[in-house]
């Protein structure tokens, strides 16, 4: 099943690893390699049920 969201866990992880100051959906939409609105990022985050510890564990594995 294809996701209806353009934002993905991999894209979000890369953004968090590269960003040292700005962590907002707007910041991600501004630097995303694909056309992405900040609303799209917010909807994905709301529906993904990611916990901060899960994001951290996923990020440090790379």
Residue keyed to tokens 């909807």: 43
Prediction pTM value: 0.69
Percentage of the chain modeled with pLDDT above 70: 85
Residue keyed to tokens 């916990």: 51
H/E element, 42? helix 38-48
pLDDT (average), residues 42-49:
84
């Amino acid at each position: 099943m294809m996701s209806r969201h353009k934002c993905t866990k991999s894209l979000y992880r890369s953004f968090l690893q590269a960003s040292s100051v700005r962590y907002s959906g707007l910041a991600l939409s501004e630097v995303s390699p694909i056309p992405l609105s900040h609303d799209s990022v917010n909807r994905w985050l709301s529906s993904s049920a990611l916990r901060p510890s899960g994001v951290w564990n996923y990020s440090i594995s790379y």
